[in-house]
Every structure is written in C-alpha cells, then in structure tokens.
Structure 1
Amino acid sequence: MDAGTRSRPMTAEERKVILASSAGTIFEWYDFYLYGSLAAIIGAQFFTPFPEATRNVFALLAFAAGFIVRPFGALVFGALGDLVGRKYTFLMTILIMGLSTFIVGLLPNYYSWGVAAPIILIALRMLQGLALGGEYGGAAVYVAEHAPQNQRGYYTSFIQTTATLGLLLSLIVILLVQGYVNGAYPDQPVLDAAGVAVMDANGNAVMQKAFNAWGWRIPFLGSILLLAISLYIRLQMNESPAFKKMKEEGSQSKAPLREAFGNWRNGKIALIALLGLTAGQAVVWYSGQFYALFFVQNVIRVDSFSANVFVAWSLILGTYGFIFFGRLSDRIGRKPIILGGCLIAAITYFPVFGLLTKTANPALHAAQQNQVVVTADPNDCSFQFNPTGTAKFTSSCDIAKAALSRLSVNSETVDGPAGQPATISVNGVVVATSYDAARLTGEDLATAKKAFDTGMNDALRTAGYPLVASENTTVAKANHFFDIFTGQKITIVLILTYLIVLVTMVYGPIAAMLVELYPTRIRYSGLSLPYHIGNGWFGGLLPATAFAISAQSGNIYAGLWYAIVVALMTVVIGALFVPGGTHKKDIFAD
C-alpha cells in the first residue's frame, strides 16, 4: 500500500474501530489505576503491622509490583500479537485485567487473613501488570496501522489519552462513591485480628471513615460491569489491515522475540528507545500524575477527597495536550517534543513542587523554614525502606527520622557521639532523647515512646507545624467537585495542570515514535518491551523510590532528584542516538 493511499482520510468504519480500541483501553487503565488512586487506604488495610511511613512505601511498592512485571507481559503478549493477531490478544488482556481487579474488591484484609492478604494482593497486581504489558503495544500498533500516514501522531494520541482518562474515570468514581458512603454511613472502628476495636492512648476507639473501612471496595467490584462492556467492544473490532496484509503475503515472523531482540541490529533499537525515549517519558508521566497525587495527599497533607478533586480538574484541563502534541508531532517530528518535555520537567520540578506546598498548605510551608536537626551516631542510621519487608527499623536514629518524615518535617542529620541515642533539635530546642525500640519492652517501651512523641510534638507545634488537620485552617479543602473557585484552589489546579501538560508533551507522540522504529513483522514485540521497561520499571518504581529518598534524606523534595536525573539522561541519549524524521516514514513499506 503506497504512501498516497495511506494519506487518505479515514473511513467511518476505521474511526469506529479506533474509537472502540481507545474506549476499551480506557477501561483497562481504569482497572489498573484504581489501586494507585487508593494506595494509602489500601496500605492501611493490607500492610497494617508496619508504621505509617513504612506502610505508605509498601503500599506504593505493591502498586509498583504491577509495573515491574509489565515487561514480561510485553514479551508474552507481544509475541502472541505478532503471531496470532492484534484482536485476539486484546481479548485476553482485558479479561485478565478485569477479573484481577474484581477479585481485589473481594479480598479480605490483613486483620482477616493475616500475611496471606498482602501476598494475594501483590499477586493480583502482578496479573494486572502482565495484562497491561500486552495491552499498550497492541493498542498503539493497532491504531497506527489504521491511521493515514501523515496523521499517525494525531490518531495514536487518542490512545495516549486513555491512560489519563482511565485515571480520571477512576478518580471520578472514587469521589462519587466516597462522598456517598461517608455521607450515608457513620465512621467505623478500626478492628484488630480478633475483631476487637483498636484503642488509642486515651482508651478511645480508633475510628475511620466508612469509605476507608469498606467503601473503597465498591469501585473495584463495579469494574465487572466495565469488563462486560470492554469485552463486547473488543469483539466488534476487525483485525489490523497491516497484520492481515502481512499474513496474506506469508511474511510473518516465526520467532518475533528472537528477531526483535536476538541480534544487535534490532536489539540496539530497543536499547535506544528505552534510554533515549521511554525512561524519561515515564518519570515525567508518573511524576506529573501519580507522584503529584501522592505528594498532595501524603506529604503536604491535603485530605484525599480534595486532592482527588484538584487532580481530576487538572486532568480535565490538561488532557487535550495529548491531542495537541500528537498532531504537532506530525508536522515537526516526535523527537524534539518528547525531549523538550523531559528537559523542561527537569529544570522546573523543584520550584513547581515547592510552589505547590506553599499554595496548598501555607502553614506547613512556613513551618518548614524552621531548623530541625537530627544528631545521631551514623552507625545507628539505616536506609529505612526495605522492599522485602525483612528489616526492622528500631534504632533511635531510625525512629527519629521516621517520625519527622511522617509529619512532613524537613530536617538535616549530623553525626553525633558513638553509642549515644539520637536527639532532635527544633530551632535549638532539644527534644527528649529518642529511644532504642530493640532494647525496650512492655511498659518501658510504651513510656519511652510516649515521652518522645510528646516532646517532639510539643516542639514542632511551638515551631508552627500543623500536626492536627482540624487545627490547620490554611490547608486547601474542597467541599464538593465544583468547589475550586478561590484563588488558592485555582492556583493548585493550575500548578497540577502544568505538570499534566508536561506529561502530554512526552507521552502524546511516544506511541507513533515507537511504532515507526520497527517493521510490521516484529512491531508489537519490538516496541512493547522498551515501553514497558521504561514505564514499568523507571516509572512504576518512581513514587516509592522518591518517597523513600525524601524520607531518608529528611527533605520532602529530595525524591524529585530521581525523576530529574533520569529525564536528563534521556535528553542526552535521545539527542545523540534517537533518529529524527520518523514522522515521514511509511510503516507499510517494510
């Protein structure tokens, strides 16, 4: 098929097929992102034995588990897509994704099933990741092979919107369910393994919102309806014309994985695509969407409902950027837009996230100007977040740093005398000496912990830290979805929208760019692996890695260095090795 033929306008049937493909992909992303949107709540349900800061990291790592296995899904389903076709691979991935999500909604929590609950949760997340590993490459290839040659970036950009629209759909469903459940049902006591209410230090039952207790399951269970719709949509689709043409000519690859990655000629394309395109695209994407949401909720202490409202509005305002930059890439090329987005992100992340804190929680931002110093024996301090969960962090230094991190306190650590317990100094006021939890038990441990918590909290309150949400009148709060029309809230939405625009720059043209790097016979396999290693490993691990770096360093912004360094690496490698002018390529000619 020549270039002129491929430049014709799309037929109504082709538009219908691409719309159906995009809609099904939105539903699949919705399933995958439900967990990310509810990570903090799910962490409290399934990682209960750990302290709050550690629990948050484990919850994010469970989220990342789905990303870690995505490259393996890319290999399995990429090969199937090149061997048996795009359509039937779609059906398999959506079925695995939908059923895994539904089962998460049924899964008992840690108090009911003990350690089996988080293990099963992570297994379900891995199944979701495998399915998603086969989904994206197929969707990108399927749409690109239907699109007119001179509009490939424009049409594939609709596939690029599906991830953000899936996140937006998940946020809207969560907001609706959360508002209804918390309004219609009273707060629930937190129960221990024996079904007994957990009590606080004053003998009162620890309470939680009804949505946090059980309402979070409803969006997961409701996904079974989306699964039925998605299966129906996928069954109506036709096979890709490029795949049918290749099959008719008998030019299919008999071993697409070996051909795509088993020789340096094709293997180097995957390596360049990974380091020069998808790694940087991934960290910008996940910083702008998932880490931004986690940062607003868990670091600068905006309540989850309000945070979801602000992020949802930013997605609504920014999503057209995918289409804009996809169309622009058809005229000026993919490479300059993707690398430009990475560079702008690397330059602006620190001031933008700082402005976000100052705007959303002014009291916290003001308090962070105080000098807080942890003095500790360096041998007493360790990197506190262990993905395997095997390490116990009980030293006085670890306890002090974890406590400050939990309260979003910026601090620095200086070396203290060997063998001496850690101390915290707030504006020169030294808090009662921290304690070593490994050497204390029973009442001695409880007494030491209470003394430390009281001393630290009193010092931080004196310095202006808003430790109790109800006492912080400066923090942004949305009472309903349309409650954003104040200067503070509009500014928050605009800051988050800026981060989404950067996401659209790097992500809008990436599908067309990857499709153009590979011939038809190995296209599904070839582009899927670098995409999912980039997004699954570099991107999927970003929230947990960034939070852990921030907690360990004592600076809430330090985790941004991960995204900045990876983005700058991509700018350099991409500028040197990624080919330009691919937007002019005829993908039917190979």
Structure 2
Amino acid sequence: MVATTPDVRDRARPMTREEKKVILASSAGTIFEWYDFYLYGSLAAIIGAQFFTPFPEATRNVFALLAFAAGFIVRPFGALVFGMLGDLIGRKYTFLMTILIMGFSTFIVGMLPSYYTWGVAAPIILIALRMLQGLALGGEYGGAAVYVAEHAPQNQRGYFTSFIQTTATLGLLLSLIVILMVQGYVNGNYPDQPVLDAAGLPVLLADGTPQMMKAFNAWGWRIPFLGSIFLLLVSLYIRLQMNESPAFKKMKEEGAQSKAPLREAFGNWRNGKIALIALLGLTAGQAVVWYSGQFYALFFVQNVIKVDSFSANVFVAWSLILGTYGFIFFGKLSDRIGRKPIILGGCLIAAITYFPVFGFLTKTANPMLYHAHQTAIVVTADPADCSFQFNPVGTAKFTNSCDILKAGLTSRSANSETVAAPAGTIASVQVGETVIQGYSGIADNAAEEKARFDKELNDALSAAGYPVAGQENTTVAKANHFFDIFSGQKITIVLVLTYLIILVTMVYGPIAAMLVELYPTRIRYSGLSLPYHIGNGWFGGLLPATAFAISAQSGNIYAGLWYAIVVALMTVVIGALFVPGGTHKKDIFADQNQ
C-alpha cells in the first residue's frame, strides 16, 4: 500500500503529527538563529571595550553599536540573495545554508582574539562576521515563513506561522537568560581582571593601582558565543530531517519554477507594487511597533529612566515570558477574522497609547526623575546652532554649543524647552534659577570647558531633584535577582512592558501568513523577504538613532516616540486603502503559475 501525503488544502482535517514536527522543528531552529543575532546586541558595550580599545569609551561604544547596526543594514541584501536561491533550488537547502553561516559566524566571534592580540584586524573581522550574520538572517525569516506556510493546512496558516513569529522574541529571551546566568556565575566565582590599554598594559588609577573590571567583561562574555555551537548542531540536525516544501515540490514537478525570481518579483509593476504595498502598508508599521515594544522599551528603561542594566533585563525578560503567547493567539485569531484588521489595529492602538504608557513607565520605575521633570528647564540658543543629531552610523561630530548642551540634557533624561537667541550666541541653559553657560566643542579650551559645564549642570540638576551620577536614588526600581519582581512597583513595570509586548504580538503574529499570501509560489521567497527586511532592518533598525535625535532636538525624553507613531499611522492609512483583505481564505496552491 502506497503512503499518501495529506493535502494541506483540506480545510476540515487537523494537522498531522509529522507536519507539526516539521513546523515546530523549523521554529526551534529559527529561535537559535535569533539568539545568535541578539547575543551581540546585548553585549555590544562589553565587546566594544575588547575590540575598539584605542578609542575613548564613548567612541568605542559608537563603533560597537555600528557593528551591531551593520547586521541590520545588510539584511535586505541577504533577503535578495537567499530569497532568489530559495525560489531556485528550494526552501530546505537554503535553510541549511543560512543556519550554517549564522552559527559559525557567532562561534567565531567567541574565539576571535581581541585588539590586544590582533590589532586592527580584530575589529575588521568582527564587523565582517556581523555582516555575515545579517546576510544569513536576511534569508532566514523568509525561508521559515514560506516553509511553514506551505506545510500548514489552509485554514491554520496564521496559527502555525505564528510559531515562527515567536522565534525572534524567544531568541531575545534566551540570549538574556543565558547572559544573566553566565554573568552571575563567572563574576561570582572568578576574580576581577585589570583593564588593559591599547598596548595591553594595565590602566592605572590616580593612586597608582590598576583599574579593574569584572571577569565576565574580561573574558566571560565569550562563553555564550562559544556555547552557541551546541545550538547550531541541534538546529542543523533538526533541519537535515526536514522534507522539502510540498508547494515547492509540486511547482518543480510541473515545471513552473521562475528562472529569474528577482526580476519577476521586482522588475515589473504588477509584482513590484505588491512589495511597495507590503512595505509601507504592513511591515514598516509592524517594525516600529515591534522595535518600540522590545528593543526601545529596554533602551528606554536602561538609558532614559536610569534603571540598572541587570534589573532592566529582568523586567523585560518577564514581560517576554508573559506576553509571548500573544503571537499564537493573534495568529490563530487571524485565521478567523483575517490578518489585516489585527495588524493595522495593533499599529493604531500603539500610536494612540505610546505617550501615556511610556510616561506612566517613568512615573512607576523612577518617581524621583518623574517629579524632577516638573522643574522648568529653558535652553537659550541661536536656532542655527542647533543641529538635528541623527547619527545612525556614529561618524558625525556635533560640536556646536547648542548641540553639546542638548545632548548633555538628553543623556541626563532632562526635559527642556528652547527659546531663540540672536545669531552667534553661545547656548546656555537655565535650571530653576541657575543659569549655566554652554561652550563650543572646537574651542582651544574645550576639555576644560566640558569639565566645568558637566559639573555645573550636574549640580543644578541635582538641586532641582534630578537623580545624577554618583547620587543615590532610592526610588528607582531595582531587582536583586531574577525572581525579585514581587512588589507593587516591580510588578507594575512588568505589566506595562507586557502590554507593549502584546502590541508587538498583534502586529507581528499574523504578518508571516499575510506576506506569504500576497505572492505566488514561484516568487514567494524572494517577494516577501525584501519588504520584510527593509521594513524591519531599516525602518525598525533606525528607530533608536532617530528617537534620540528627535528627543535631543525637542528637549523632551518622550518626543522620540513620534517616529514610531508617525510610521505606524502611515501604515494604518496605506494598509487600509491598498492592502487586500480576506487573504486568509486564499488557496496558496492554486497560484503556482501566476
């Protein structure tokens, strides 16, 4: 008796055990890829100290973040390369290529000698490895979404592709948990290490003693990277057991493959407009909500409202644990009511609620800072002296007195308003009744002026009730260990962050099924990968730099949210007008030759 493959178009039958195994295995492998990618982002500052040693701390952090951004910048190019391969040679083998590239790149980062050993070659190789990771990730998502959707029953595509949507969040969560565990063990069992200069010699403090750093910062950070080899082996084993997508096999048997999938997907207006609509009417808004709810929320808690790094990671990790089921819930709901209303609804709710939610987060997590914002701070400056400090690649220098002053206020999370001064006026700031003169970054005595300005500004802000560096703030939330969240303040923070994650699940849970349904099988991998990675790699990846520039320009710590709000509202309008509805009822096997 010949075994038959169940017809995935049969809306009445449940998914078979084998199909569930394929989809869950695909999801597990993708979690490991996201884990590899996020690991670097979580440890960027520590890695910067190892590989960009010759530069001052602020500059080395910029270069470390630039290396992280490189992974995002190349994602659309990975989407083009691997999307084309996926449509030409198949989903399975392209899948294997992406995970091998990602896994070995991550493992090599853990083995890569630092600047002390290899000099300038070390940071160059590091950035090259980050770009390889970005290229691999650019091909990974489209392959996972297409592979799962083409195995799923027609009436459960949203549900089963939603497991793929959990992988980015679970990968971030896994990376945070591994870092917290390794960091706690290494720092608790191994002595501190001396900080070394570019020549590999200990850096001495004013009293002649060596400056020290935690063992995790010195060498322990490599363990999560090296440990990823075990995840790679598991993922590789899982993917070798997979079969090719039934839709791709059917198309190949019928001779309906595209000979030039990139040209067919983007070289004519009929298909090219689908990519444009998918980008502006779906993935751009989805991306800014996704990045705001996960990455920007973590950045905001750490860097804006000044919660320490460990506590911020604990709060975000718990919100991920509590909110992740939302991906499955909204993916399944989209099989009943459609993808479009859920995705656009999530964008709209985010746009309406971001300002009050982030304001409440500040009030809860750092009451001292929240109440300090009631003190009036006024910047007086020549408008021509105030630049828009958009600097995503970290190479621009802002030396005007207004720029320096506003950046100083923003880094201290101070809210201010700006009044115009006559041309050529050196910027100044009034905090309460105290006036502090700014300075030009190109003046001969800029270093002395910086020290004077920083001290006067810190003293004035401290007198106005702002928590400043070196001053104890007993009102700020602090978690002493992973389970230290059971107080009113901490539980509230976790619930607010969970709300933001739920918005993420609304826009992200159904997006894979939606994108799959927009394209015929012959160009599906290529077609959906590019708009997805431009939306998430560029619209989403530029969010932190854009938000900082807007906040610095306006003098308000919440103003950076306008970027996410405007893009989300743009997506609501364009999506409502141009994105087709009812795609959840589409038979994706009936479009082989379109």
Check conservation: 1:53, 1:402, Cα contact below 8 A: no
Which residue matches 1:235?
A: 240
Does the residue aligned with 2:10 lie in a helix, a strand or coil?
A: helix
CA 1:436–1:206: 2 relative to 1, 3 Å: farther
Q: Does 1:523 align with 2:527?
A: no
Conserved? CA contact 1:53–1:405, under 8 Å:
no
Determine the structure 1 residue equivalent to 2:441: 437
CA RMSD of aligned residues (A): 2.3
Give the 3 Å change call, closer, same or farther, for CA 126–16 of structure 1 in structure 2: same
Amino acid in the other structure paired with 2:540: G
Partner of residue 535, structure 1: 536
CA contact (8 A) 2:19 2:151 kept: yes
TM-aligned CA deviation for residue 360 of structure 1: 1.0
- Which residue pairs with 1:24 in the alignment? 29
Matched, 1:15 2:20: yes
How big is the shift at 1:421?
A: 2.8
Matches of 1:52 and 1:569, distance apart in 2: 38
Aligned mates of 1:415, 1:201 — CA distance in 2:
43
| 2:80 and 2:526 in contact (8 A); partners too | yes
Query: How far apart, CA to CA, are the structure 2 residues paired with 1:47 and 1:374?
Result: 35
CA distance in 2, matches of 1:319, 1:403: 37
Q: Could you tell me which residue of structure 2 aligns to residue 471 of structure 1?
A: 472
Alpha carbons 1:67, 1:541 under 8 Å: kept: no
The answer to whether the aligner puts 1:175 opposite 2:180 as a matched pair is: yes
1 CA distance for matches of 2:32 and 2:468? Answer: 39
Moved more, 470-479 or 444-453: 444-453
Write the deviation string for residues 115-156 of structure 1: whole angstroms up to 9, x where unpaired: 654443332222111101111111111111111111111111
Measure the CA separation in 2 of the matches of 1:49 and 1:427: 40
Deviation at 1:532, TM superposition (A): 1.0
2:148 maps to a residue whose letter is: V
Whether the 8 Å contact between 2:162 and 2:510 is mirrored in structure 1 is: yes
Which 10-residue stretch deviates more, 401-410 or 304-313?
A: 401-410
Q: Mean Cα displacement is larger for which, 378-387 or 461-470?
A: 378-387
**Which position in structure 2 is the counterpart of 1:353?**
358
Instruction: Please list, as runs of the form range in 1=range in 2, the aligned pairs for 1:94-173 lying within 5 A after superposition.
Output: 94-109=99-114, 116-173=121-178
Question: One-letter code of the match for 2:494?
Answer: V
State the distance in 1 between where 2:57 and 2:197 align: 16
> How many residue pairs align between the two structures?
586
Distance change in 2, residues 1:40/1:547 (3 Å): farther
1:300 is the counterpart of 2:305: yes
Q: 1:209 to 1:288 in 2, by over 3 A?
A: same
Provide the rounded CA distance (Å) in 2 between the counterparts of 1:199 and 1:458.
Answer: 28
Amino acid at match of 1:146: H
Q: Which residue of 2 aligns with 1:271?
A: 276
Does the alignment pair 1:405 with 2:410?
Answer: yes
Amino acid across the alignment from 2:472 = E
Report how far residue 317 of structure 1 moved: 0.3
1:227 is paired with a residue whose SS is helix
Unaligned 5+ runs, structure 2:
1-5
Matches within 5 A, 1:46-445: 46=51, 59-109=64-114, 116-198=121-203, 206-431=211-436, 433-440=437-444, 444-445=445-446
| Alpha-carbon distance in structure 2 between the residues aligned to 1:534 and 1:82 | 21
Matching of residue 571 in structure 1 with residue 576 in structure 2:
no
CA contact (8 A) 1:181 1:215 kept: yes
Aligned-pair distance for 1:74? 0.9
Unpaired segments ≥5 residues, structure 1: none
Percent same amino acid at aligned positions? 86
In the alignment, the residues of structure 2 paired with residue 214 and residue 192 of structure 1 have an alpha-carbon distance, to the nearest angstrom, of: 16
1:103 positional shift:
2.3
Q: TM-score, normalised by structure 1?
A: 0.94
Q: Name the SS of the counterpart of 1:413 in structure 2.
A: strand
Spell out, residue by residue over 1:201-225, the C-alpha distance to the aligned partner (whole angstroms, 9 max, x if none). Answer: 7877654433233322221221122
What letter matches 1:27 in structure 2?
F
**What is the SS of the residue equivalent to 1:159?**
helix
Q: Is the 8 A contact 1:6 1:147 kept in 2?
A: no
For residues 61 and 546 of structure 2, the distance between their equivalents in structure 1, rounded to whole angstroms, comes to 11
Mapped contact 1:274–1:531 kept (Cα < 8 A):
yes
Counterpart for residue 486 of structure 1: 487
Cα 1:120–1:418, aligned 2, differ >3 Å: closer, same or farther? Answer: farther
**1:55, CA displacement in angstroms?**
6.0
Query: What do the CA deviations read for 1:487-542 (whole angstroms, capped 9, x no partner)?
Result: 00000000000000000000001111111111111111111111111111111221
